[in-house]
Structure 1
Amino acid sequence: MSSAETEQTTAVHGGKLIARRLKAHGVTKIFTLSGGHIFPIYDGCRAEGIDIVDTRHEQAATFAAEGWAKVTREVGVAAVTAGPGVTNAMSALGSAQMNQSPIAVLAGRAPALRWGSGSLQEIDHIPFVRPLTKSAQTADSPAEIPGLVDDAIATALAPHSGPTFVDFPMDHVFSEAPDPGTPVAPRDPEGGPEADGGQLDRAIALLRDAERPVVMAGTNLYWGHGEVALLELCEELGVPVFLNGMARGCVPADHRLAFSRARSEGLKGADVAIVIGVPMDFRLAFGGAFGEQTELIVVDRAEAIREHPRQVAAELVGSIAGTLRALTAGAKGAQDTSAWVARLRASETEKRAAEAAELTDGRSPLHPMRLYKELAEVVDRDAIIIGDGGDFVSYAGKVIDSYEPGCWMDPGPFGCLGSGPGYALAAKLARPDKQVVLMLGDGAFGFGGMEYDTLARHGVNVVGVMGNNGIWALEKHPMEFLYGYSVAAELTPRTRYDLVVEALGGHGELVEDPDAVKGALHRAFEAGKPALVNVLTDPSVAYPRRSNLA
């Protein structure tokens, strides 16, 4: 028997079984908060050379797993202890579900041998975790552990990707079983065959005749590695592109066919719209963002999770990259779209020009648009920008441009504040050569501000830029519009969050004048430690919100 065979058949404890399967799948880091129920997982990861990155809250650990998935397009892994460790991770699980982010959450569990006797943190996680995950399972023996880890990772990555959960009773994870050493098959990142031929023919016919086509692409374009094929389609057929979610940057913002400000005119005025990897939820006015006569071609990695709110002309399910290439090949020689593109470019230019006054606003406290103008002139083209907040981050989504895939992260449709520090931690660990900028509101800081300790302890040099207006702006302004007053919408003005960051081992600076922003940002990037530029912004400025939340 060879030494490799001997190692595989030798019994090892459950934590080593877990770690060996993680390593087989290419996992290099787990995000966690310490707990006795999962000590064997740490022991296994230490033995296998998997980095253990500990945070100050299980929500941050699980958001970090999602951030890892978002920036790498590989599975992110969080390990949390039993009971409150799992309940603390629930919001991040909900976020990963709605963002279709592939993460695996591995949890401790009270001993099976004493189940029902009232052990520490004894609670059945599965019933309340299952609605937020693609799969939720409990190991019934040490021998089951390797297969459950394999299933959790494979299921998380399979279209539609999303979160999975496995918990391990304490007696099982401390006990031993043989390591099966099962090899992992290579995974095709583009994910399977192109769409059904009949639907494809219908879509090609529509595209060939379209005079005003558009693309509206979202997060599943990114998960499906479809950016190269999308660019080929748009350039070959002359189709204007609008992007949201993780699709931002999949076509560079300065490409001649990339648009953002002209979205309403583009979607309403299109005769054919290719809707790629994005649900028609509140962000697209439940389908109402498109014109009544617009023919919709829906492209996605798997069958729609919910029924489309309006009729579609063709629905193409399968490999996004393969499907887009088939559309490009089939629709060659389509109508000339140059007049349509020129019309949208004129609208885009006009709307950008209308923003000039806000971008150069000299008020103090600052207008958020002025702050983002100053930031845009400092960050690198491939900087990873992360948003965590309400109105302040809404302005960022409007103003900040992305030029490469995986360089924009926000909470997504779940809208959970506190995601930013975990995302930033993972992003900088995954891409240490890139600038990572965390844009956060003063309200959002309250959810995850202690994670600056995590950033400092691990030497993760993220630059935070805070819009500090002393209110919950996303609630205060709409409530005052509706009722003439607001309640539960005030924070303490001018709070020195920068001093909190300094106390936690980072670099902090307060900024009140717009002309001082750029210098403060340069000092933050040069600090060699996690930083927060705490910028006072004008609480009277309200983001012009149009979307219908319900």
Structure 2
Amino acid sequence: MAAETRTETKLHGGRLVAKRLKAHGVSKLFTLSGGHLFSIYDGCREEGIDIVDVRHESAAAFAAEGWAKVTREPGVAALTAGPGVTNGMSALGSAQQNGSPVVVLGGRAPAMRWGQGSLQEVDHVPFVAPLTKSARTPGSTAEIPGLVDDALVTAMQAPTGPTFVDFPLDYVFMELESEPPSDARLPDPLDAPAAEGVEAAIALLRGAKRPVIMAGTGLYWGRAETALRELIAELRIPVFMNGQARGCVPADDELAFSRARGTALKGADVALVVGVPMDFRLGFGGAFGEDAKIVVIDGARPERTPPRTPDVTLYGGIAATLRALGGGGALDTRAWVQELRGVEAERREGERADFGDDRAPLHPMRLYHDLQQVIDRDAIIIGDGGDFVSFAGRVIDSYEPGCWLDPGPFGCLGSGPGYALAAKLARPDKQVVLLLGDGAFGFSGMEFDTLARHGVNVVGVMGNNGIWALEKHPMEFLYGYSVAAELRPETPYHEVVRALGGHGELVRSPGELKPALARAFESGLPALVNVLTDPAVIYPRRANLA
């Protein structure tokens, strides 16, 4: 009876963590079991937060990012001290460059023994801090709730991004009489428009003959897709999307384009760059014509200096800023839109030859053509690979926000299974399709065990060409040879998935593909369709490393 009374009147540090997570709507904690985290697990169990365990801490942190990408809520991972935290570093780097609101909770050696050589004793904060918006350690049990609040709020503030808190073992097991009061609330991204520059941007738009919008991940985090659709419909501006913005305007909208991007960006006289940095994906600003007027719209001023100075900058609530640019009626863009639609149609027509390619092993474009015919319009597509996923990025169309997940500019392989786990848990009624290179499978293929244990029926589709193609082909072009670019041909990865409790099939020829995909979706299990693809097919690279 005494023990029951103590539980009712006192809260240990792990319970305090869980209560703050629950207060902010967190329903899933992604983790790999570690003794430093036991009190947090106990707290989550008491507060009704699901504990989702994986096979490698990297997958836990990527799952937290996947949850954030699909839901636009904070994704939370708990990583044990020392190697648990260091195993999550790549996912933190990914979240930083994607602007993903991820909170990583770390275990930590006890403060009372600090410096004496406790198990896994290392100060995480100095090496985590460069990858996060904030990285902190409580100095007492009483500080725990406030730091959890701060981590969640900071992660969601524009610009969104990852945060970190680690908890000394002694503090997180100690108790308080009650939870300290808190009025912390997650910020609303639908904020006021930019304070300066709106009139200048409107003046540029009203004088434009060939305007274009290039929208990226920041637009998605700003929940600005409705405002974007309203603006392009009113002003008749063609739009291109990359990163998490894919699907924010449906691919079949009359003003949505993808294949004509080079023509549009080079030919535009005014370009609205919305929530996307001018990094290597936009040629460091060189993707736009020299005479183009550039208007940058984002939720906050970037830390990096843009390689090309914009003509106008609008920093504020993205949705509100886009709405402030409307009014005045449609621009006369008919000839411009018609020109771009002609380029788009020509390039889509040019893909048909590859779509009908009957070679065996398969051309990746044939694989994606057949895949698009069997997936739902709102399927969540996850890319984890090099050349194989690069082909997908060119031709897979998205129609709803949050339905395209790839590693982003950090380019970290192994992110896919964690993303897929979180996506299916967040959206159980949607198809979740994981596109895997055979190289990427080696990073986190054991997470198919995680998918099987949690009953998550993700369908993986592998392009298995037996090489590191994005390295092999350019190296051979540069040097006439390649090294460290070979994998074992025709490795039966599908048999690994079967052994882990999933469904697996091998596809050698085009005629086998659709039936294998159908069986994978019907299996109700995590599945891998291992498709042998032609290693001689070279992805037409348009961006370099720097």
Question: How high is the TM-score relative to the length of structure 2?
Answer: 0.98
Residue number among 454, 457, 463 corresponding to 1:461 in the alignment: 457
Residue number among 255, 270, 273 corresponding to 2:271 in the alignment: 273
Secondary structure of residue in 1 paired with 2:30: strand
Structure-2 residue corresponding to 1:289: 287
Aligned length: 542
Measure the CA separation in 1 of the matches of 2:253 and 2:418.
31
Deviating more after overlay: 44-53 vs 175-184:
175-184
| 1:343-354 superposed matches below 5 A | 343-354=339-350
RMSD: 1.3
Q: How many Å apart are 1:338 and its aligned residue?
A: 0.7
Structure-2 residue corresponding to 1:23: 22
Measure the CA separation in 2 of the matches of 1:94 and 1:404.
26
Measure the CA separation in 2 of the matches of 1:276 and 1:500.
43
Secondary structure of residue in 2 paired with 1:328: coil
Measure the CA separation in 1 of the matches of 2:74 and 2:6.
26
Secondary structure of residue in 1 paired with 2:62: helix
* CA deviation profile, 1:457-501 (whole Å, cap 9, x unmatched): 000000000000000001000000000000000000000000000
Structure-2 residue corresponding to 1:304: 302
Structure-2 residue corresponding to 1:214: 212
State whether structure 2 residue 526 is matched by structure 1 residue 527. no
Structure-2 residue corresponding to 1:386: 382
State whether structure 2 residue 136 is matched by structure 1 residue 127. no
Measure the CA separation in 2 of the matches of 1:133 and 1:253.
33
Amino acid at match of 1:303: R
Residue number among 252, 255, 260 corresponding to 1:254 in the alignment: 252
Structure-2 residue corresponding to 1:43: 42
Structure-1 residue corresponding to 2:365: 369
Measure the CA separation in 2 of the matches of 1:310 and 1:518.
46
Residue number among 495, 498, 521 corresponding to 1:499 in the alignment: 495
Q: How many Å apart are 1:305 and its aligned residue?
A: 2.1
Deviating more after overlay: 298-307 vs 408-417:
298-307
Structure-1 residue corresponding to 2:410: 414
Q: How many Å apart are 1:375 and its aligned residue?
A: 0.4
Measure the CA separation in 1 of the matches of 2:415 and 2:118.
32
* CA deviation profile, 1:494-516 (whole Å, cap 9, x unmatched): 00000000000000000001111
Amino acid at match of 1:263: R
User: How many percent identity over aligned positions?
Assistant: 71
| 1:152-163 superposed matches below 5 A | 152-163=151-162
Structure 1 contact 35–80 (Cα < 8 Å) conserved:
yes
Measure the CA separation in 1 of the matches of 2:204 and 2:101.
34
Q: Which runs of 5+ in 1 are unaligned?
A: 1-5
| 1:302-451 superposed matches below 5 A | 302-329=300-327, 332-451=328-447
Amino acid at match of 2:37: I
Structure 1 contact 207–334 (Cα < 8 Å) conserved:
no
Q: How many Å apart are 1:307 and its aligned residue?
A: 1.0
Structure 1 contact 191–318 (Cα < 8 Å) conserved:
no
Measure the CA separation in 2 of the matches of 1:61 and 1:495.
27
Measure the CA separation in 2 of the matches of 1:425 and 1:88.
18
State whether structure 2 residue 482 is matched by structure 1 residue 483. no
* CA deviation profile, 1:313-358 (whole Å, cap 9, x unmatched): 11000000000000013xx235310110000000000011111110
Amino acid at match of 2:427: R
Q: How many Å apart are 1:10 and its aligned residue?
A: 3.5
Measure the CA separation in 2 of the matches of 1:7 and 1:74.
34
Measure the CA separation in 2 of the matches of 1:341 and 1:275.
18
Measure the CA separation in 2 of the matches of 1:142 and 1:166.
13
| 1:218-229 superposed matches below 5 A | 218-229=216-227
Q: Which runs of 5+ in 2 are unaligned?
A: none
Structure 1 contact 286–309 (Cα < 8 Å) conserved:
yes
Structure 2 contact 31–78 (Cα < 8 Å) conserved:
yes
Measure the CA separation in 2 of the matches of 1:184 and 1:34.
32
Deviating more after overlay: 319-328 vs 174-183:
174-183
Structure 1 contact 384–408 (Cα < 8 Å) conserved:
yes
Structure-2 residue corresponding to 1:3: none
Structure-1 residue corresponding to 2:541: 545
Measure the CA separation in 1 of the matches of 2:354 and 2:13.
58
Secondary structure of residue in 2 paired with 1:380: coil
| 1:140-155 superposed matches below 5 A | 140-155=139-154
Measure the CA separation in 2 of the matches of 1:210 and 1:179.
61
Secondary structure of residue in 1 paired with 2:77: strand
* CA deviation profile, 1:389-445 (whole Å, cap 9, x unmatched): 000000000010000000000000000000000000000000000000000000000
Amino acid at match of 1:247: A
Structure-2 residue corresponding to 1:90: 89
Structure 1 contact 507–527 (Cα < 8 Å) conserved:
yes
Structure-2 residue corresponding to 1:172: 171
Q: How many Å apart are 1:182 and its aligned residue?
A: 3.4
Measure the CA separation in 2 of the matches of 1:244 and 1:389.
17
Structure 1 contact 126–137 (Cα < 8 Å) conserved:
yes
Structure-1 residue corresponding to 2:192: 193
Question: How high is the TM-score relative to the length of structure 1?
Answer: 0.97
Measure the CA separation in 2 of the matches of 1:73 and 1:485.
45
Structure 1 contact 272–296 (Cα < 8 Å) conserved:
yes
Amino acid at match of 1:147: G
Measure the CA separation in 2 of the matches of 1:428 and 1:391.
25
Secondary structure of residue in 2 paired with 1:355: helix
Residue number among 257, 261, 264 corresponding to 1:263 in the alignment: 261
Q: How many Å apart are 1:311 and its aligned residue?
A: 2.3
* CA deviation profile, 1:11-32 (whole Å, cap 9, x unmatched): 3110000000000000000000
Structure 1 contact 8–179 (Cα < 8 Å) conserved:
no
Structure 2 contact 472–485 (Cα < 8 Å) conserved:
yes
Structure 2 contact 29–50 (Cα < 8 Å) conserved:
yes
Q: How many Å apart are 1:177 and its aligned residue?
A: 1.6
Structure 1 contact 72–430 (Cα < 8 Å) conserved:
yes
| 1:77-116 superposed matches below 5 A | 77-116=76-115
Structure 2 contact 11–179 (Cα < 8 Å) conserved:
no
* CA deviation profile, 1:236-277 (whole Å, cap 9, x unmatched): 000000000000000000000000000000000000000000
Secondary structure of residue in 1 paired with 2:17: helix
* CA deviation profile, 1:16-70 (whole Å, cap 9, x unmatched): 0000000000000000000000000000000000000000000000000000000
Structure-2 residue corresponding to 1:57: 56
Amino acid at match of 1:79: A
**CA pair 316-8 structure 1, distance change in 2 beyond 3 A:** farther
Q: How many Å apart are 1:190 and its aligned residue?
A: 3.0
Measure the CA separation in 2 of the matches of 1:94 and 1:104.
13
Q: How many Å apart are 1:181 and its aligned residue?
A: 5.2
Structure 2 contact 132–163 (Cα < 8 Å) conserved:
yes
* CA deviation profile, 1:204-253 (whole Å, cap 9, x unmatched): 00001101000000000000000000000000000000000000000000
Structure 2 contact 381–433 (Cα < 8 Å) conserved:
yes
Structure-2 residue corresponding to 1:11: 10
Secondary structure of residue in 2 paired with 1:113: helix
* CA deviation profile, 1:145-187 (whole Å, cap 9, x unmatched): 0000000000000011111000000011111124335355554
